[in-house]
């Protein structure tokens, strides 16, 4: 039996349109999606009508503070919504629902975006749909890549999880025990005072391409989980010794050449990504799958994709799926897409039930739109 996704279609229409608002971290995203009636498939696909994003960027060496990030979202949200509507060539009257990120994420930015969502819903008399940010990434990844039932590696600034679907839940097989991988990379970028534009992780990736010496760093896989705070402390310590007052020189043991900042970026990436590959491979073996889907901002890192590909190629019929920065990095369209699926199964949020939450685990969501 398949789930009936068309109980709530507007009379006389054979499609749905939803607007999604994302603002759980430093990206403010507004996306508008159109889904045709019927089950989504490779021949019956969702259509991205618009996907606009604006990122709050801080000076080098600084992270983004909740207060200023929320202010960025508040002050841009109306302009970004207007741009998304005009690009999609739709008006409020064309929409079926307003979707918003309910969590997980930073409290203040989430709060400022949900106010915009509530306002639109009341203005246009539309239902609200609260979306779990991680589920948004997973559903959009599946839609874009066509991966039907992959093991999902969700890697971003705030989250690191290995996820597999089973019985209407996205279940977490492994995750970070402390900080997220993107947080680890971003904070190291701050130590090195690497610019935050376009993204600290992107700049680390570019530097890592020039690195060639692997510096010994801790490797901390704990069963299916990872720990990254110790690695960060270690590499931060090395960087401070090298570029601080001490000006300590580190040399590569084999070649005797000086270790550079590029080498540190290279080593950090190699170690962290090896750990990810290890737990992902183990999850694949557990659930007897051969598909990996990488989502989340760090998923746009080409080195991570390459390493994952090497692992998956060794597996029978192994396939890797990844999306580009439009869908990897936080965006509004994934919220619109996952929210619309939820709406089509009758899951909406009354106004009183639209409070955002910083903690909202992926497996708390009832995936009513799947029953495989």
Partner 1 sequence: MSLIPTAVYSAADLEQPHEFHPGDGDHTTDGQTTQISEVVIKAGGEDRDKPSEARDTPLGHLRAQLTTLQDQINVFLTERMKSEKSAITGKEEDDIERRILDDGVDEDEED
Q: Which residues are annotated as part of the binding site for a divalent metal cation?
A: 133, 137, 154, 330
Q: In terms of CB distance, is 56 or 266 closer to partner 1?
A: 56
Considering only residues 61, 198, 237, 244, which one is a binding residue for partner 1 as defined by CB under 8 A?
A: 61
Q: In terms of CB distance, is 11 or 59 closer to partner 1?
A: 59
What distance lies between CA 12 and its chain's CA centroid? Answer: 36
> In angstroms, what is the minimal distance from the CB of 196 to partner 1?
10
> In angstroms, what is the minimal distance from the CB of 250 to partner 1?
28
Residue 124 in the binding site for partner 1 (CB under 8 A): no
Q: Which span sits near partner 1 by CB under 8 A: 53-61, 174-182, 225-233, 310-318?
A: 53-61
CA distance 259 to 246: 15
CA distance 270 to 195: 21
Residue 58 in the binding site for partner 1 (CB under 8 A): yes
User: How many residues line the site for partner 1 (CB under 8 A)?
Assistant: 16
> In angstroms, what is the minimal distance from the CB of 65 to partner 1?
6
Residues 270-309: x where in contact with partner 1 by CB under 8 A, - otherwise, as a string = ----------------------------------------
Residues 62-81: x where in contact with partner 1 by CB under 8 A, - otherwise, as a string = x--x-xx--xx-xxx-xx--
Q: Which span sits near partner 1 by CB under 8 A: 60-68, 96-104, 112-120, 249-257?
A: 60-68
CA distance 126 to 97: 5
Q: In terms of CB distance, is 64 or 170 closer to partner 1?
A: 64
Q: In terms of CB distance, is 113 or 365 closer to partner 1?
A: 113
Q: In terms of CB distance, is 71 or 315 closer to partner 1?
A: 71
Considering only residues 18, 19, 56, 150, which one is a binding residue for partner 1 as defined by CB under 8 A?
A: 56
> In angstroms, what is the minimal distance from the CB of 62 to partner 1?
5
Residue 315 in the binding site for partner 1 (CB under 8 A): no
Furthest-apart CA atoms within the chain: distance in Å: 74
Residue 243 in the binding site for partner 1 (CB under 8 A): no
Q: In terms of CB distance, is 69 or 354 closer to partner 1?
A: 69
Q: Under the rule (CB under 8 A), what is the footprint of partner 1?
A: 56, 58-62, 65, 67-68, 71-72, 74-76, 78-79
């Amino acid at each position: 039996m398949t789930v009936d996704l068309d109980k709530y279609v507007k009379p006389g229409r054979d499609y749905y349109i939803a607007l999604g608002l994302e603002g759980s971290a430093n990206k403010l995203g507004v996306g508008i999606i159109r889904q045709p009636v019927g089950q989504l498939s490779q021949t019956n696909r969702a259509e991205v009508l618009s996907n606009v994003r604006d990122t709050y960027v801080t000076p080098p060496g600084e992270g983004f503070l909740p207060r200023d990030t929320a202010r960025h979202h508040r002050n841009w949200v109306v302009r970004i919504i207007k741009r998304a509507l005009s690009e999609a060539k739709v008006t409020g009257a064309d929409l079926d629902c307003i979707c918003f990120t309910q969590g997980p994420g930073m409290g203040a930015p989430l709060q400022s975006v949900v106010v915009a969502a509530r306002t639109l819903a009341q203005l246009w008399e539309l239902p609200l749909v609260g979306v779990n940010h991680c589920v948004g990434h997973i559903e959009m990844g599946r839609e874009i890549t066509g991966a039907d039932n992959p093991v999902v590696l969700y890697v971003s600034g705030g989250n690191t999880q290995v996820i597999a679907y089973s019985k209407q839940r996205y279940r977490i097989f492994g995750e970070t025990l402390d900080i997220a991988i993107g947080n680890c990379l971003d904070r190291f970028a701050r130590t090195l005072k690497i610019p935050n534009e376009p993204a600290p992780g992107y700049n680390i990736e570019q530097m890592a391409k020039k690195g060639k010496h692997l510096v010994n760093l801790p490797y901390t896989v704990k069963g299916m989980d990872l720990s990254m705070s110790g690695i960060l402390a270690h590499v931060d310590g090395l960087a401070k010794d090298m570029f601080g007052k001490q000006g300590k020189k580190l040399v590569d043991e084999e070649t005797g050449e000086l270790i550079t900042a590029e080498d540190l970026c290279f080593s950090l990436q190699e170690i962290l990504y090896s750990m990810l590959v290890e737990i992902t491979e183990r999850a694949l073996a557990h659930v007897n799958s051969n598909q990996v889907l990488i989502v989340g901002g760090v998923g746009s890192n080409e080195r991570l994709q390459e390493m994952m590909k090497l692992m998956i190629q060794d597996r029978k019929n192994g396939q890797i799926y990844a999306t580009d920065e439009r869908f990897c990095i936080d965006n509004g369209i994934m919220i619109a897409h996952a929210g619309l699926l939820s709406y089509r199964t009758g899951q909406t949020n009354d106004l009183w039930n639209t409070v955002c939450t910083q903690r909202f685990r992926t497996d708390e969501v009832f995936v009513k739109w799947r029953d495989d």
